[in-house]
Structure 1
């Protein structure tokens, strides 16, 4: 209830924020269609809706399946569309009422077909303005109540992993591991997964996003597990790699190199750095070894209502990190024909460093 109250108390600030977006993109009004932005801006969790935002009106348009829930969750005016009065008809009424001739739309999420249909129906609009990431960027710095949801989500992942370690063994399949992880996350309070769970063993672990299979875990296998749950809509994300049986010296060397990259990147992390600066710390460690070129993806990404948000810790992201941003720190080494290791934490950027939301052990675990 406290989170709900804090969110409702933030409605005035959100109204100010969305009006600022309108000013920044030079539009009189906006249509918000991305489901995560709809939830963040309006509080409505159903997803299937359109928001119309102008200085005069804040309208949530949805169908009869969601109108009652939307009225309870949101302080927007909720209007039901139906076959007699469709979304574009409702929009036309408010656009004409507000004398809007220039409107912003979410070009990064709206389908071309949907845009073409709207543009045809709303012929009173003289200029359509692509909003780009303007509304997504409202979600970059997390509010205190959001951080609490993220802490809880990651703690559920910690508990699920601890329980899995009591169960996982040689002979289980990768799909068995996925089923157990997802069951444990649910049992510990998770409200669904935040992405498709990954469990990759042996040679399969050289594929960062391997699809779990019927392959059985064998003695000497690396097993990389990337998993997360949702709590109050907010995602967790964590990766741990273990060894079935005893690790050989080559496996230990590879694992400890990834661990060093993870620890040193986190030690360097603080507000004021650019995302690419943090990525470089981990990448330089791996690229100065015999595994140069075996770390292909970015070091990390933000997490919130969606699993992959901005800003990123990657060579191409020069965004300056600010307190309250969430980032994953997930260096990895992937060697086809050998296997791979990834170690991932989810952290909050602070003024002088970071807060690690993941508490599962990172030293090499042998089962």
Structure 2
């Protein structure tokens, strides 16, 4: 893991800084191994410190990577940080520009007097996580397999008359029963006309014959996320919904087939978008094709029409086209893939054949 700190130190050197304060939780875990909710990670050119409060001292000592000193703050986080800055002669200090709030930045200015220069570095630390190593890929693959197991179990209990909220609760129960630490985002269950709402919140709406049922959920396993969507039907769907399902599936399969290292992420989006548009539903596919997944559920790269990302080996991301027709319903199909040796490896194993319960 020292290689990760080495990459941060390269950024510190390139920016002419003496150190960098990490506050984002995903970046803290990635760089230090600490998974608690409160800390400040200070990385210098040669040393690194994780400043925590009494609640997390033992946990931090058990979790941090080699080369990071755990420091329990005395009067306050700021006083302890400033003391280290003073002792180490660190006057030029960077921070995650996309993570630190303005109010926190103002507190840094007021309470870190030895940081004579504070400089935001945008999302450069986030981008260190864009390509996963072998251990990360295996953790994500296990999370995805666990999601597949959840889907298999949940098919056994879905029946007309259930509410969306009951089904969402069952999905999250199965996650934990099978070993997940929890959901990676708020579970989406949307039936009937509500399936046209891309990010619908489960309600007391009851499943009824003919409904399209969108299930979008993910798990957290060993600190890494999964994400999958399947659309199934409660009884025989109408002809238009079956047609829409076939179009979405064709678009997703074509996008998956097109993937390779070195391609523009926007080109992958275009493959799926063009198929949906030619079928006459272009106006009903209003989100991007996919997004990176890792410690956080939404990471780089972004597979969208406007994305400037170039897909590379080690990137893990979703592929999830959809069609949503207000007053009728919606269909989304989502898999997670990783690029290995220039080609996509689909991590998601759940069937995409149309399921009619």
Aligned residue in 1 for 2:315: 325
* Match in the other structure for 1:65: 55
Q: Give the alignment partner of residue 210 of structure 2, picking from 217, 220, 234.
A: 220
**Whole-angstrom distance in 1 between the partners of 2:274 and 2:338:** 23
Structure 1 residue 112: Cα displacement: 1.2
Deviation for aligned residue 1:56:
3.1
**Within 1, Cα distance between the matches of 2:190 and 2:312?**
34
Following TM superposition, by how much is the alpha carbon of 1:23 offset from its aligned partner in structure 2, in angstroms?
2.2
Change beyond 3 A, Cα 1:156–1:136: same
Which residue matches 1:279?
Answer: 269
Contact 2:217/2:228 (8 A) holds in 1: yes
- State the TM-score, normalizing by the size of structure 1: 0.95
Which of 45, 48, 55 is residue 45 of structure 2 equivalent to?
A: 55
Unaligned runs of 5+ in 2: none
Assess if the C-alpha contact under 8 Å between 2:27 and 2:125 holds in 1.
yes
The equivalent of 1:77 in structure 2 is 69
Deviation at 1:185, TM superposition (A): 1.4
Measured in 2, the distance between the counterparts of 1:63 and 1:192 equals 25
**Distance in 1 separating the partners of 2:332 and 2:237:** 16
SS at match of 2:128: helix
Corresponding residue for 2:227?
237
Residue in 1 that maps onto 2:196: 206
Query: Displacement, 1:337?
Result: 0.7
Shift of 1:274: 1.3
Deviation at 1:269, TM superposition (A): 0.5
Unaligned ranges ≥5, structure 1: 1-9
Indicate which of 272, 286, 289 corresponds to 1:296: 286
Are 1:343 and 2:323 an aligned pair? Answer: no
Quote how far apart the aligned CAs of 1:346 are.
0.6
Query: Equivalences for 1:260-271 in 2 at 5 Å?
Result: 260-271=250-261
Deviation at 1:352, TM superposition (A): 3.2
Which is worse superposed, 194-203 or 17-26?
A: 17-26
Q: Is the 8 A contact 1:267 1:353 kept in 2?
A: no
| 1:366 alignment partner, SS class | coil
- Report the TM-score, using the length of structure 2 for normalisation: 0.97
Give the aligned partner of residue 6 of structure 1.
Answer: none
- Post-superposition shift, 1:190? 1.1
In structure 2, how many angstroms separate the alpha carbons of the residues matched to 1:237 and 1:279?
Answer: 18
After superposition, where does 1:88-237 map in structure 2 within 5 Å?
88-237=78-227
Question: Residue 34 and residue 220 in structure 1: after superposition, are their counterparts in 2 closer, same or farther (change >3 A)?
Answer: same
Please give the alpha-carbon distance, in whole angstroms, between the structure 2 residues aligned to 1:24 and 1:250.
Answer: 56
- For residues 68 and 60 of structure 1, the distance between their equivalents in structure 2, rounded to whole angstroms, comes to 12
Q: Contact 1:258–1:341 at 8 Å: present in 2 too? A: yes
* Cα distance in 2 between the residues matched to 1:279 and 1:56: 42
